[in-house]
Each structure stands twice: as C-alpha cells, then as structure tokens.
Amino acid sequence: GAKKLVEKLPIGGAVLDLGSGRGLIAKNLAEMGFKVIGIDFEEDIVDKANMEIKDWKLEGKLKFIKTDVFHMPFTDGSFDGVCDFGLLENLYQEDWGAYANEINRILKPGGFYLNVSLSRKTINFLDFSPINSKDGEFKDEDVHYHFRNGKYF
C-alpha cells in the first residue's frame, strides 16, 4: 500500500499518516526517505510510538502527535501526501465531508491522498492484519487502493 503512494510522491516529501496507531506505516515511509508525521487520538499510543523513533534511528524524519482528523494543527498545503490505512471506515458517515475538507486543506496543490478501506467483504481482512503476519506487515490481497490527485471529492 505505502509503496504505491511512494511512487507518486517527490523524494523527501512530507507525508501524513492518519490514525497511525503503532506507527508501522509511518516508519516504513520514513525509512524510504520521507519526512513523516503520524497522528492518532490515543495519547498512550502516540507516546509509545514516539519512544520507538530513537530505536528505529529515525529522529528528525518521523514524529507522532496526538490530534484528531477534523482539527489538524498544520498549515494549509503542508503535505505532499496523506495516507489513511483503515481510519475512514471508523468515522461516522456524516463526518466524511469534514474529514475530506481537512485533508484538502493540508494537501499541497497536486498532492496525493491514499485511502485503504476495509469492507464487509474483507471483514476477516484476508490476511490484511499485522497480527497474522510474521513480519508485522500488512498484506494487500483483495484490497482496493484509491488515489486522487489534488482534491478528494
């Protein structure tokens, strides 16, 4: 998933990982040379992820902050790419417009948004789970990737 986004982004670009959780996607992106910020609304998860940055040797390339997707503390046009691996489907449908507006606000003109959503068809995640993976990585069987250049809607 992240590799598909990487192909569309400038080397060293700024990427935001929405609902970053343990930070594995953000970590992978930072290791590829991007400047990455992961956000999550769970303070404990953010604190734990920030402690691991030193172990990962990614200081200055990666950080995690506690915030929600509706009031992100970034200036307009801050990011070359925004990725969402499994957050959108956890939001109320009536909040999707506010979510999209905030993503549009923080993306640079021509920036890319990647959403990987799980559906009822993939409810068992079809091995799309780090828990079922020996290396903690996601697998991408039967998962649809959605890219939009610039605006989401």
Residues 125-140 pLDDT 10s = 444 444 444 444 444 4
122 found inside a domain: no
CATH number at residue 37: 3.40.50.150
Tell me how far apart the 2 most distant CA atoms of the chain are, in Å: 40
* pLDDT higher than threshold 90 for residue 49: yes
For 72-96, write each residue's pLDDT tens digit. 999 999 999 999 988 888 888 899 9
What string of H, E and C letters represents the secondary structure of 37-53? EEEECCHHHHHHHHHHH
Q: How far apart are the first and last CA of the chain?
A: 21
The rounded mean pLDDT for the chain is 81
What is the pTM assigned to this prediction?
Answer: 0.78
* pLDDT higher than threshold 80 for residue 123: no
* pLDDT higher than threshold 80 for residue 33: yes
pLDDT score for 134: 47
112 found inside a domain: yes
47 found inside a domain: yes
36 found inside a domain: yes
> Residue 145 corresponds to which tokens in the numbers above?
């990737």
Count of the separate structural domains present in the chain: 1
